[in-house]
Amino acid sequence: MRIVRTIPELRAELDARAAAGERRVGFVPTMGALHEGHLSLVRAARAENDVVVLSIFVNPTQFTEAADLDGYPRQEGADAALAEGAGVDLIFAPEAAELYPAGFATTVHLSGPLTETLEGAKRGAAHFDGVATVVSKLLLAVRADAAYFGQKDAQQLLVVRRMVTDLGIPTRIVACPTSRDEDGLARSSRNVRLSEAERDQARAIPRALAAVEAAVATGERRVAVLARDADAMLEAAGIRPEYLAFVTPDDLTPVREVAGPVLCAIAARVGDVRLIDNVELAPSGPAPDTKE
């Protein structure tokens, strides 16, 4: 495995591998602090491609809170060991100036509910501007056949898909299931900042999502009821969500009943750690004839 710092180095390495017959490239973009969730994306890329590239870049333009940027863990040595063990061939770990050189003046901006609701409403439009800009830069640098993203960041996944479609970037975007710890908590680099008591509190988030999923499976379709019961579970754990949303999974339109596929998404702070999670609901069979 090699670590490269510049786009010319990256492309030279990929060109050499292509000349040797290793032409299909899979890409896993990360901000480092790797955990099992990232490694599950690497394994998915490894199964489908000749070469796997993983990027490590803490993108300053997508952080709206300076403390969150400053506190983001950086551990390149440990990350490299994990990446190599999972089957990564190349790590692209650029400095900020490599992606944002002097005079850089372009921002990729998506308008509409994909970037203005949920995370966009809470973190501001600049967040997804930062995501779209850096992901477009990385995809163009790697020129991957496929790029792998986790479903935990469902809104980010939609934004990236919309961007590559609109800009004609020839990379297939692959969604991989949310990776969870044994206690159900969605894996995140931020989880290490939770105290033992806070982690116990945070477990209410996946429990609430599981309860929503179970209620839909047994016939409940009314979002008002599902939201009320999920909110009560969170409140019992001392969690007041920033949002508890039921939206269509393709364009984030709010819904009043689960008549088709619906994304239930939660964002909440536990201590000073902001957590997000979601579940896609898929009703089966007729809804019961009930009245609120």
Residues labelled as active-site residues: 38
State yes or no: 139 annotated in a binding site.
Answer: no
User: How many angstroms separate the CA atoms of 51 and 87, rounded?
Assistant: 9
| Residues whose CB falls within 8 Å of the CB of residue 189, separated by 6 or more in sequence, listed in order | 31, 32, 33, 35, 72, 73
User: How many angstroms separate the CA atoms of 256 and 247, rounded?
Assistant: 9
Alpha-carbon separation of residue 273 from 105, 127, 276 (angstroms): 32, 17, 10
State yes or no: 32 annotated in a binding site.
Answer: yes
Closest by Cα among 79, 73, 77, 29 to 54: 29
Locate 202 and state its tokens: 């945070």
State yes or no: 75 annotated in a binding site.
Answer: no
* Strand arrangement, sheet containing 51-56: 2-4, 90-92, 51-56, 25-30, 146-150, 172-176
What is the number of other CB atoms lying within 10 angstroms of the CB of residue 126?
A: 15
User: How many angstroms separate the CA atoms of 176 and 42, rounded?
Assistant: 10
State yes or no: 130 annotated in a binding site.
Answer: no
State yes or no: 71 annotated in a binding site.
Answer: no
State yes or no: 188 annotated in a binding site.
Answer: yes
State yes or no: 109 annotated in a binding site.
Answer: no
State yes or no: 36 annotated in a binding site.
Answer: yes
State yes or no: 123 annotated in a binding site.
Answer: no
User: How many angstroms separate the CA atoms of 128 and 134, rounded?
Assistant: 10
DSSP code at position 118 = T
State yes or no: 31 annotated in a binding site.
Answer: yes
User: How many angstroms separate the CA atoms of 30 and 150, rounded?
Assistant: 11
> Collapsing DSSP states into helix, strand and coil, what is residue 262?
strand
State yes or no: 137 annotated in a binding site.
Answer: no
State yes or no: 74 annotated in a binding site.
Answer: no
State yes or no: 34 annotated in a binding site.
Answer: yes
State yes or no: 127 annotated in a binding site.
Answer: no
State yes or no: 244 annotated in a binding site.
Answer: no
State yes or no: 221 annotated in a binding site.
Answer: no
User: How many Cα neighbours within 13 Å face the side chain of 112?
Assistant: 11
Provide the annotated binding site: 31-38, 62, 150-153, 156, 187-190
Binding residues for ATP: 31-38, 150-153, 187-190
Q: Report the binding-site residues for (R)-pantoate.
A: 62, 156
Binding-site residues from annotation for beta-alanine:
62
